[in-house]
Amino acid sequence: MFQPVITATGVFTPSETITNAELVTAYNAYAARYNEDNAEAIRAGALEAKPPSSEEFIFKASGIEQRHVMDKSGLLDPAIMHPLLRARSDEEPGIMAEMALDACQKALKAAGVKASEIDLVICAASNHERAYPAIAVEIQKLLGAGGFGFDMNVACSSATFGIQAAADMIRAGSARKALVVNPEICSGHLEWRDRDCHFIFGDVCTATLIERAQETQNPLFSIRSTRCATEFSNNIRNNNGFLRRTRTSGQDLKDRRDMQFMQEGRKVFKEVVPMVATHILAHLEAEGIAPQALKRMWLHQANKAMNDFVGRKVLGRTPAPEEQPNILQDYANTSSAGSIIAFSQHQSGLAAGDIGVICSFGAGYSVGSVIVERL
């Protein structure tokens, strides 16, 4: 058996940002235009008018101040309201692979590992731009890595589930050096024309390099233990899929609302928060770690109030900001990448032997926790 250790992380951050003010201006222009175009149907009661969005609501309800995106021009155009991404030929690298390459190369550089030494690439994300060939295999080729790669999707929990898969393979001996990479183009699946959710997501890519402790000079964190759990729920759902064209219901096959992200946000909040706190506490107990011994929690970055609640439940007191760092104010919810951005950016102040937990949660429902020890 080999001990898996995290030796580096890498983050690709798109250069374009959208502030809440920009977002709300674009949405409100879209809503005004929609209400004007459909004035007759709205007056007749056949359609509902779209109410305006507000910066105050967004910040108060979520803690989000801005988001990074791959393309803001389409998102801020009231006549478009989705990202505009250049169509690529099959001979060019795909956009997810391109984002992944940047994040992986940053992680490899930080650890001083050559791409050719990598023998496992897991592309773990909540959406994949095509069905096959796997994005992970394309990333493997672009990197010049060996071994094998595969894609997986557990929505917001993809990164921690991917880390568990990689850590288990390293432990068992079927992989030596693994990259778990999370290219999240959430802007492609968000419904920017729905004020209930238009502020939630942003784009980013994270990568985590995991190696055998016995074969690295520069380990950062030992992976003490991982735990994943799922419980079916329809409260976060996206019905887009390959059976789309088989439907004959007469609905718009290109632009159905349920082909984008949908959620019952209140229900998600109420049901997932206790599930996450119970999950982390049970995981710590199984490892013989008292919650008070936890020095850091890198939580999924969906909602500030949600994280505050989980932090209080786990520690039994209000965590200091450095104990439970948030990055969602700058990045919004980046699905599976959120907890890894927090992990990547907030490692200072930990001493050898300190214990922390990376935890993500979301659609499925799904929860994944990774208990790590600073080396």
- Residue of 68, 54, 53, 57 whose CA lies nearest to 16: 68
Q: Which is nearer to ligand CO8, 302 or 355 (CB)?
A: 302
Element (H, E) at 143: helix 135-143
- Decide the pairing of beta strands 16-19 and 4-12: unpaired
Among positions 20, 206, 216, 263, the unique one binding ligand CO8 when judged by CB under 6 A: 263
* Amino acid in the structure at residue 227: R
Residue nearest to ligand CO8 (CB): 362
User: How many residues in the chain?
Assistant: 375
Residues 122 to 161: which contact ligand CO8 by CB under 6 A?
Answer: 126, 155-156
Asked if 262 touches ligand CO8 (CB under 6 A), the answer is no
Contact 345, 15 (CB under 8 A): no
Q: Which is nearer to ligand CO8, 86 or 266 (CB)?
A: 266
Asked if 94 touches ligand CO8 (CB under 6 A), the answer is no
Q: What are phi and psi of 368, to 5 degrees?
A: -135, 135
Q: Is 156 a catalytic residue?
A: yes
Contact 124, 152 (CB under 8 A): yes
Report in angstroms how near the CB of residue 202 gets to ligand CO8 at its nearest: 10
x/- letters, 39..68, toward ligand CO8 (CB under 6 A) = --------------xx--xx--xx------
Q: Which is nearer to ligand CO8, 24 or 163 (CB)?
A: 24
CA dihedral 126, 128, 131, 136 (to 10 degrees): -100
x/- letters, 306..345, toward ligand CO8 (CB under 6 A) = x--------------------------x-x----------
Report in angstroms how near the CB of residue 296 gets to ligand CO8 at its nearest: 21
Contact 213, 4 (CB under 8 A): yes
x/- letters, 229..248, toward ligand CO8 (CB under 6 A) = -------x------------
Among positions 161, 261, 298, 343, the unique one binding ligand CO8 when judged by CB under 6 A: 261
Q: Which residues pair with 179 in a beta bridge?
A: 121, 209
Asked if 11 touches ligand CO8 (CB under 6 A), the answer is no
**Binding residues with ligand CO8: total (CB under 6 A):** 30
Q: What are phi and psi of 115, to 5 degrees?
A: -60, -35
* Amino acid in the structure at residue 330: D
Task: List the structure tokens of 361.
Answer: 């949660």
Q: Which is nearer to ligand CO8, 59 or 148 (CB)?
A: 59
Catalytic site residue from 104, 156, 205, 359:
156
CA 190/CA 23 separation, integer angstroms: 13
Cβ partners under 8 Å of residue 186, min gap 6? 126, 127, 201, 202, 203, 261, 333, 334, 335
Residues classed as catalytic: 156
User: Can you give the binding site for ligand CO8, defined by CB under 6 A?
Assistant: 53-54, 57-58, 61-62, 126, 155-156, 186, 189-190, 195-196, 199, 201, 236, 261, 263, 265-266, 268-269, 302-303, 306, 333, 335, 362-363
